[in-house]
Structure 1
């Protein structure tokens, strides 16, 4: 499916525009930093949400902050829209190009500038891979906590754009909790620093505004992240449940008991059965749901936490409990969870990964709702998610070659997000909005709230050149969406109480 975020241009006009912009960029960049040939730009036509594609007019690959400034100056003067791109692992279409725009890839800004074990910080360029930070810090017994499933490939610049999380975000937080400072370039070519290495920075907290802004406010050129000591040990419980609802209630019981696991993940039977033959993690494929609960710290702390968590899980109705007995077994348990997305290819030609967040106590209710939607839309759904913080990742399984199946998958996904909002949640937890969830933004936010978002965007980018038409829908778009979705003056799930 091809979606252009600006009106398609006449081919001759677009070709002339491409030559004009390429010449201007070629005057400020080395030839190898500007791509315009079809075979060179094709790899940039989409991010991890491959259902939506658009060839970019030009791709730039700056190798320094000065080159980033030069690109922005050229694009501002010629009024060319810019789409920032990291590793392209995003799942919401945030890096999908614009037909008459420039993709600005930060992949070549990939140096670790400084790693200070005394202040426990690392200064890195945006193209540094997430896992590479921990690899570099390992010699000091430190690591970078946010660990998205794509951490072997995703870059810190993209993590900042999407406010990425991971399986350990319950205890250690999202990207916004682990970034101290961002150096960025505005559309005007100004270099700004947001935040700082001290406990606080003067002025408005623009760092928190910038993290998660999906490339709409500026281009990251340097990031200072927190490093934390690597725990002396860690162990994982795999708890089996005969009913999905019981597993969901166990999540709330653990938190209510005052236990904050290092990681708390849930997989339903469909997920564990598609993963186990691929990874051989040792999952209980007869269970309706399994929970992975990790404890980390000193050996004594871990032993105590494992005992406390086991007791809560048994009381919640766990039918079986297995505890990792070695680091290799712990990593094997996690490998199944982290490989759930690619493993979906074993049982379905295509999958559509959703991302919504709900209050923990509503997990059972929402999963029951998703089960009913499977019947309604005639599609299977594998549920694998960050249970501890209520961040759902339903994998809707479909066949793109079957007429109408992708449309049903989209409708299924939109209905899941609407249910998340109805129970007091939100339409995203860590994947961002991009182009995928634009319409769902209209479900969650009122016109006054959307107007405030647009005001922030105008303050940074009045000409709307940075990743335009992403993340924040226009009020006109919401009005049109409302005409399609509102029934009897009520949004979907109006019978459910709102928080």
Structure 2
């Protein structure tokens, strides 16, 4: 649907009044000063004031919002903590933002079954904090885990530094309870080992709020390892470092975490967290082993041998838990640390086969010259999930447009080598044009058909993730076409 340039006052008041009749005081925000905090998510380059923001506190109130919006034909943008990086929670000018932040109750933890039932507004890290008393934790650990919510993790199929061994959100969620646009409650998946019928849970996880509103999630918990250590391996060039990643996996080793940072990333992070990084190395790998003390010692020894044979110029191993956490703190703070060396950064997200890491990193290095911008590379090397941080200054005319074009070129390269345009950040608004690079029209039509099966009126997060035929025809395989920006109707910065 096409968004209007402005919303008539009468329409805003009509929708607000209908929502206030169904929701408690304080659960409906319509004044611009109240809705401004919701104008963007973690992709702050694009902003749009929502018409209305709703803050339900239980499932019944979520259904009430859906009822009103369905009856009045109002688009709905679901929102968790707003930490997403692809514009998936970008408001629609004539739409309602449905925030699940107040559905933040941990319903129960079952230490025998090793599961936790939580509402979507529960923070990722809070699950592990509660489960710690049972010697358990929730494995997926996005860098924003201190703030991001499980509902948002389900929407984006989030991962984290330990996703190589323990999997993404889709591998750690057993069941979701969903409110549909028709006002029904359905359950996908099961707390049993399998669920009857089609695997709609896997379809729903990563659907970016386009199929329904999560009201409850059952997650798997895993035992906290008795021991863990991290190797920091240094390399004199990124190609050797990239090839070392493939060597570790080829040796039959599945580390708990396998992350890579280039020199630019290490140097921007080290003054910020004092992690002890080798800032002279062209690239560093962080390789973690966890398990029993004997298992950890054996895996550390094997990985050390593989890394040395792969060309590591130096190797350091964490000797205490505090040192291990320091090593990881640098990696997890890479995004905020970018502010130390650049006024702005544009965080991309693409996934490639591990064997092509060196090729793609070399390609990104060449693109720095092409686009006249620096790029800091920090990523989940073990599963090939790249997070290039393109550094730019929004105050300089044309730099953001160059950063976008740089990012689109990186995604096109990911597709060219057999990868994908996103690993865990989602498509949202950011990569919607790149979907035309990744998929043929028939495939995009199939995606649209899945959405229509869940959302006949097409009100849930419309115009996100799946490009229309017109958009693909207009932009083709280019993110910026004939000098046009992707979303000219949206204010930037």
Instruction: Verify same fold: TM over 0.5.
Output: yes
Match of 1:108 among 71, 77, 102: 102
String of CA shifts for 1:396-415, please: whole Å, max 9, x gaps: 00000000000000000000
For 1:462 and 1:330, locate their aligned partners in 2 and report how far apart those are by CA, in whole Å.
50
- Aligned pair 1:467/2:472, yes or no? no
**Distance apart, 1:482 and its partner CA:** 1.7
Aligned to 1:450: 444
Structure 1 counterpart of 2:4: 8
What stretches of structure 2 of length at least 5 have no aligned partner? Answer: 482-493
Mapped contact 2:6–2:93 kept (Cα < 8 A): no
Give the aligned partner of residue 25 of structure 2: 31
Shift of 1:8: 2.9
Q: Indicate if the aligned counterparts of 1:6 and 1:98 stay in contact, CA closer than 8 A.
A: no
1:68 aligns with 2:62: yes
Question: Partner of 2:361 in structure 1?
Answer: 367
**Contact residue 386 and residue 392 of structure 1 kept, 8 A:** yes
CA offset digits 1:103-140 (Å, max 9, x no partner): 00000000000100000000000000000000000000
Match of 1:243 in 2: 237
1:38 CA displacement:
1.0
Q: Structure 1 stretches of 5 or more lacking a match?
A: 488-499
* Separation of aligned partners in 2, 1:442 and 1:287: 38
Cα distance in structure 2, aligned partners of 1:345 and 1:181 = 38
State the shift of 1:10 in Å. 4.3
Contact 1:235-1:302 at 8 Å conserved across structures:
yes
1:225-267 Cα offsets, whole Å, 9 max, x none, are 0000000010000000001100000000000000000000000
Cα pair distance change 1:10/1:116, threshold 3 Å = closer
For the residue of structure 1 that corresponds to 2:461, the secondary structure is: coil
The offset of 1:7, in angstroms, is: 3.0
Instruction: Report the Cα distance in structure 2 between the residues aligned to 1:17 and 1:394, rounded to whole angstroms.
Output: 42
Q: What is the distance in 1 between the residues matched to 2:479 and 2:79?
A: 32
Provide the residue aligned with 1:21 in structure 2.
Answer: 15
Q: Distance in 2 between matches of 1:464 and 1:350?
A: 34
Judged with a 3 Å threshold, the aligned counterparts in structure 2 of structure 1 residues 38 and 320 are, in CA distance, closer, same or farther, namely: same
Pairs aligned (count): 481
Residue in structure 1 matched with residue 296 of structure 2 by the alignment: 302
Structure 2: distance between partners of 1:478 and 1:316: 43
Counterparts of 2:25 and 2:379, CA distance in 1? 44
Question: Would you say the 8 A contact 1:6–1:99 is kept in 2?
Answer: no
Partner SS state of residue 174, structure 2? strand
2:341 matched to 1:356? no
Q: Which residue of 1 aligns with 2:136?
A: 142
Give the aligned CA root-mean-square deviation in angstroms. Answer: 1.2
Pairs within 5 Å for 1:136-175:
136-175=130-169
SS in 2 for 1:439: coil
Shift, 1:483, TM fit = 7.5
Instruction: Measure, in 2, the Cα distance between the counterparts of 1:146 and 1:472.
Output: 26
Cα gap change, 1:198/1:345 in structure 2, threshold over 3 Å: closer, same or farther?
same
Q: Normalising by structure 1, what TM-score?
A: 0.95
Tell me what 2:484 maps to. Answer: none
TM-score norm. by structure 2 comes to 0.96
Query: Which residue matches 1:56?
Result: 50
Q: Equivalent residues in 2 for 1:204-215 (5 A)?
A: 204-215=198-209
CA offsets, 1:446-489, max 9 Å, x none? 011001000000000011100000000012211111275899xx
1:32 Cα deviation (Å)? 0.6
Q: How many Å separate the matches in 2 of 1:238 and 1:139?
A: 30
Partner deviation per Cα, 1:134-172 (whole Å, 9 max, x = no partner): 000000000000000000000000000000000000000
Give matches, 1:424-443, under 5 Å: 424-443=418-437
Inter-CA distance 180–6: structure 2 relative to 1 (3 Å threshold): same
1:80 and 2:74 matched: yes
Could you say what secondary structure the match of 2:22 adopts? coil
Distance 1:484 1:302, change over 3 A: closer
Alpha-carbon shift at residue 195 of structure 1 (Å)? 0.3
